[in-house]
A and B are shown apart, each in its own frame.
Chain A
């Protein structure tokens, strides 16, 4: 086979794409199951998006509120997701999260403690009880460092700063991936019996986002290109509190823990406006409700100086704020000249999280494409139409582990794969094309214009007319992305990297827009100005499903799985 000689090639049982919480947890489980595991990441190890998670890991450990149980966590998750969740995932998640947290502790993580010496838990939006296990406001750092050290000690191979540009299939199943080393720009073939997609989200398609440069939807786009199904792509979460001023920091996350610790939202008239929108839960309402409330206040002329709301925690003792929210204290002090122990922060919605993604089976995290598994933000199902804060880190642990198990089990039975040289040649040709163009646009310009389209036309509030326009704009952007030109060499070239990321972002942007146009109701994070109500009869019973159909994108609807009787009773329970 020609590629054996032409390209650097590695072979593993399980290849994990993405080194955040889900990918690392999958790797650990794959190793424990005896598989040879490789983890490939676009950045250095330990820099994945998980490191930015602040508030905590939701798990019904009942250390603080003794009445908590998996049943309540299940009910909160399903209600928060407006029943669009995969009920089985929500059940497994609620049942297994406490054990996954204990495991982290046994691997060396140090959570904040109760006076009894147990893991401390804090309140968060949409959770009935104090449920978030945390380390100040840097829980994600603790989690990623613990998983990273565990995985390194167990002995996985890590390919850092390596970007996957295509999944390789033998027509029926996934047999590996093709990528390139950012440092030298050299291509590499990664053969594997099973692949776990743990690539995170898509926020970089919007202008105002809490997401890092890595969040370009590559995992979803790679899976889609290879033939996997994408589910519920209309459900994009806008976190209610991102920084709004100064301009350079717009979108950077302000943790929900500020509200969990007692932070109050006010408009420019000093009104505590959540009284109007959710008098019962107030600031700790679900993220979709709080984000829409802030947006509405601003639109109706009651916004803060720079177009947000005021979030105030300064009524708490300064030392308490510094201890419980240290990185928020530093972030505002250093980047915005605001001392949050003395005065309010200015905050506004920021594109934060993708509930939709690769459709997976609850038990094994297997996608619809044999050999491909997915976990974490890249996968869909657990969070339905809206994710509760804290349920992401627990998702990564519970389903990262299940994906590692599922992939290792699959790999143990999968026959040796053969690589199709034609797929590699095509991917290489597409990747190098931007260097060969004598003229063409800078990929950064196309990216900026894509962000404007998604921000302005497919944002928090959506309407048919805007989205029709967005579809037209996306077509034009696709044509422009196909003609971008890259300057310089293949060595560590961010512009070249973006030329590929752009294609991924355009694929997921189209999937989001098509799905959002189809869902003619408002549910969770998906709000239609032209269809402001829930439609239980039609849309309460179906998901949107996206698949590739030749060169085009196909949208269809599939029924929501019926929730079994016993779990359904939990949901009916008013307590």
Chain B
């Protein structure tokens, strides 16, 4: 059986370095299997998050050969074996230990979003054609790979004023819910900073659930913000009607 060499980051936010491990390759093996091999046979204290090992929970995110991936869905036989396979923690989050990062920021952002609030006296009839686009957003497994690659977070560190692609997807799922009755447009503009996104589609590229984050969630939400705040005709209409400004 052939061997692979893995170069895995060991350490924390302050100190750390990559360490090499030799792992025997089995048919169909994924990178997470290789990490489990290291735990079971070489270094039992290697810290890795994982749960389902089937691409459904979004726990095992890391950067494999520099690319943000779910390690449970990254086949070893899809990677070049002539050089070590590098496995590093997600770069945009502080390292707790080895491949485990502090993703608590995401949970804080989520708390800012007003929940689903149904229209009064609804009869709860919904039709599949109205739901298809929302169900796409509901596929999100919260692996946070999109948050990790977004340059607003990764390079510009705007965690305090920006929500990130994951939460634009979540807001989209609420805003486009056929029976929802709340507007989150002000939140998008002011607290989630959707204006920072300049639609480079990095998030869409890494999404393991193949959600069209940019095209189907972010761009329509940006349009809603523009309609509400920057459309001169709407501004005029509001002025004439004396409607309160959505500030």
- Answer yes or no: are A and B bound together in one complex: yes
A residues at B contact (CB < 8 Å): 43-49, 51-52, 102, 105-108, 110, 112-113, 115-118, 135-136, 138, 140-142, 145, 149-150, 152-153, 183, 212-214, 245-249, 252-253, 327, 330-331, 334-336, 442-445, 448, 486-489, 491-496, 498
Q: Residue B45 contacts which of A116, A136, A489 (CB distance < 8 angstroms)? A: A489
A-B contact pairs, 11 of them (CB 8 A): A106-B118, A108-B177, A117-B127, A136-B135, A213-B51, A246-B27, A248-B27, A327-B56, A334-B75, A492-B97, A494-B39
- Chain A residues with CB under 8 Å of B53's CB are 212, 249, 252
On whether the beta carbons of A214 and B51 are closer than 8 Å, the reply is yes
Asked whether any CB of chain A lies closer than 8 Å to the CB of B128, the reply is yes
Interface residues of B in 51-106 (CB under 8 A from A): 51-59, 73, 75, 96-98, 100, 103
Q: For B98, what are the chain A residues with a Cβ–Cβ distance below 8 Å?
A: 492
How far apart are the CA atoms of A252 and B180 in the complex, in Å?
36
**Cβ B44 vs Cβ A494 within 8 A:** yes
Q: Is the CB of B50 within 8 A of A108?
A: no
- Give the residues in chain B near A145, CB-CB below 8 Å: 138
How far in angstroms is the closest Cβ of chain B from A76?
26
Q: Which 6 A-B pairs have the closest CB atoms?
A: A246-B28, A495-B44, A488-B45, A108-B116, A117-B125, A444-B40
Given contact pairs A106-B118, A183-B96, A247-B27, a sample of 19 additional A-B residue pairs in the complex whose CB atoms are under 8 Å apart: A43-B59, A46-B57, A47-B52, A47-B57, A47-B59, A51-B51, A51-B52, A51-B141, A52-B56, A107-B116, A116-B125, A138-B56, A140-B56, A214-B51, A252-B54, A334-B73, A488-B44, A491-B47, A491-B97
Alpha-carbon distance A331/B30, docked complex (angstroms): 13
Kindly state the separation between the CA atoms of A469 and B131 in the bound complex, as whole angstroms. 55
- Enumerate chain A residues within 8 angstroms of B233, measured Cβ to Cβ: none
A52 touching B97 in the complex, CB below 8 Å, given contacts A44-B49, A110-B134, A141-B141 = no
A149 to B118, CA, bound (A): 15
For A45, the chain B residues whose CB sits under 8 A away are 107
Closest A residue to B72 using CB positions: A335
Distance of A96 from chain B, by nearest CB (Å): 18
Residue of A nearest to B122 (CB): A106
The answer to whether A135 and B138 have CB atoms under 8 Å apart is yes
Q: Are B127 and A442 in contact (CB under 8 A)?
A: no
Residues of A within 8 A of B73 (CB): 334-335
For A106, what are the chain B residues with a Cβ–Cβ distance below 8 Å?
Answer: 118, 124
Complex Cα–Cα for A153 and B135 (A): 21
Whether B115 is near chain A, meaning CB under 8 Å from some CB there, is: yes
How far does the alpha carbon of A57 sit from the alpha carbon of B96 in the complex, in Å? Answer: 37
Query: What distance in Å separates the Cβ of A457 from its nearest Cβ neighbour in chain B?
Result: 22
- For the complex, give the distance between the alpha carbons of A138 and B137 in Å: 13
Contact of A46 among B46, B126, B128, B142 (CB under 8 A): B142
- In the assembled complex, the CB of B227 is this many whole angstroms from the nearest CB of chain A, namely 24
Contacts of B177 in A (CB 8 A): 108, 110
In whole angstroms, how far apart are the Cα atoms of A493 and B12 in the complex? 13
CA distance A115 to B29 in the complex (A): 43
Question: B55 touching A327 by the CB < 8 A rule?
Answer: yes
Determine how close the nearest CB of chain A comes to the CB of B79; give it in whole angstroms: 14
Chain B residue numbers with a CB within 8 Å of A49 are 51-52
- Complex CA distance for A51 and B58, rounded to whole angstroms: 10
Bound CA–CA A142/B56 (angstroms): 11
Shortest CB–CB separation between residue A220 and chain B, in angstroms?
A: 20
> How many of chain B's residues have a CB under 8 angstroms from any CB in A?
55
- From A118, A253, A443, B54 is in contact (CB under 8 Å) with A253
CB pair A331–B47 under 8 Å, yes or no, is: no
Cβ contact within 8 Å between B115 and A486: no
Which residues of chain B have C-beta atoms less than 8 A from A113's C-beta?
Answer: 126-128, 131
Q: Which of B28, B39, B57 contacts A495 (CB 8 A)?
A: B39
B175 on the A face (CB < 8 A): no
B115 proximity list for chain A (CB < 8 A): 107-108, 149-150, 153
Could you say which of B28, B138, B174 contacts A336, with CB atoms under 8 Å apart?
Answer: B28
CB of B54 within 8 A of CB of A105, answer no
Cβ 8 A contact of A248, one of B33, B103, B135: B33
Partner of A330, one of B12, B55, B124: B55
Chain A residues with CB below 8 A from B75, complex form: 334-335
Quick check: is B156 within 8 A (CB to CB) of the other chain? no
Q: A44-B103, A487-B45 are in contact. Are A248 and B40 (CB under 8 A)?
A: no
At the interface, yes or no: B43 with Cβ under 8 Å from chain A? yes
Q: Whole-angstrom distance between the alpha carbons of A47 and B51 in the complex?
A: 7
Contacts of B131 in A (CB 8 A): 110, 112-113
Question: A102–B126 Cα gap in the complex (Å)?
Answer: 13
- Out of B44, B58, B97, which one reaches A443, CB within 8 Å? B44
- In the docked arrangement, what's the CA distance between A249 and B72, Å? 10
Q: Which chain B residues border A245 with CB–CB below 8 Å?
A: 27-28
Contacts of A495 in B (CB 8 A): 39, 44-45
Most buried by B among A108, A117, A118, A494: A494
B28 touches A249 (CB 8 A): yes
B139 within 8 A of A: yes
The closest CB in chain B to the CB of A107 belongs to: B116
Cα–Cα, bound, A443→B44 (Å): 8
Q: Are B57 and A52 in contact (CB under 8 A)?
A: yes
B29 smallest CB distance to A (angstroms)? 5
A105 with B124: CB separation less than 8 A = yes
Q: Which residues of B contact A489 (CB under 8 A)?
A: 45
B111 in the interface, Cβ–Cβ < 8 Å?
Answer: yes
CB closest chain-B residue, reference A330: B55
Contact partners of A43 in chain B: CB under 8 A: 49, 51, 59
Q: Residue-by-residue, is B111-149 near A (CB-CB < 8 Å gives 1, otherwise 0)?
A: 100011010000011111001001100110110000000
- Docked pose: A212 CA to B135 CA in angstroms: 26
The reply on B110 being an interface residue by CB < 8 A is yes
Most chain A CB within a 10 A radius of its CB, from B48, B54, B116: B54
CB distance A331 to B55 under 8 Å? yes
Contact of B128 among A112, A213, A253, A448 (CB under 8 A): A112
Contacts of B55 in A (CB 8 A): 327, 330-331, 334
| Least CB separation from A252: chain B residue | B54
- Measured between beta carbons, the chain B residues less than 8 angstroms from A136 are 135
